[in-house]
Amino acid sequence: MDEVPSPAAVPTSALVPAQQSVCPRCHAPVRPEYYFCPNCGAKLTEAPLGTGIVDQLLLYAFSLVLPWIAYLAITKWQGIRYLRSPDSRARQMGLIALILIIASSIVFFWMTYIWVEQFMQSLSSQLGGIGA
């Protein structure tokens, strides 16, 4: 018959889970792989950036349309986080997103300039017709 050791016979280091720390806010025990404290919800670490095809498409699409929505959501653009990532694939995604946002911005400002020029010409011709 197998004998179960008594709690006094088990070393205390075997009772404590390995690699466990505490939440800086509520001091509850948390595991190193947690991104948020399960007790209070405090942010413990940054989640890794996604590099899948869906993540790429969303980042690139947002980089293309950001100038068109007048930079209202610039704080939501994740390209900088991707550029600063230690992961080479994420950095490559960030570089592509940066190139896309610069190209899209140039097109946006060029089209705005053309539109303003055409508007000013039509306004000038309308005002010229009134004075004649």
pLDDT band at 36 (very low <50, low <70, confident <90, very high): confident
82-131 tens-digit pLDDT: 888 888 998 999 899 889 888 888 998 999 999 999 999 999 888 876 75
Cα distance between residue 86 and residue 104, in whole Å: 26
Using CA atoms, how far apart are residues 106 and 99, in angstroms rounded to an integer? 11
Instruction: Give rounded-to-5 percent helix, strand, coil for the chain.
Output: 55, 5, 40
> Is 56 exposed, middle or buried (CB count within 10 Å of its CB: 0-12, 13-18, 19+)?
middle
List pLDDT tens digits, range 54-86. 888 888 887 877 766 655 555 667 788 888 888
Q: Of 101, 96, 95, 93, give the one whose Cα is nearest residue 67.
A: 101
Is the pTM value of this prediction over 0.95? Answer: no
Can you give the residue ranges of every domain in the chain? Answer: 8-47, 53-131
For 70, 85, 106, 117, the CA distances from 113, given in Å and listed in that order, are: 15, 36, 11, 6
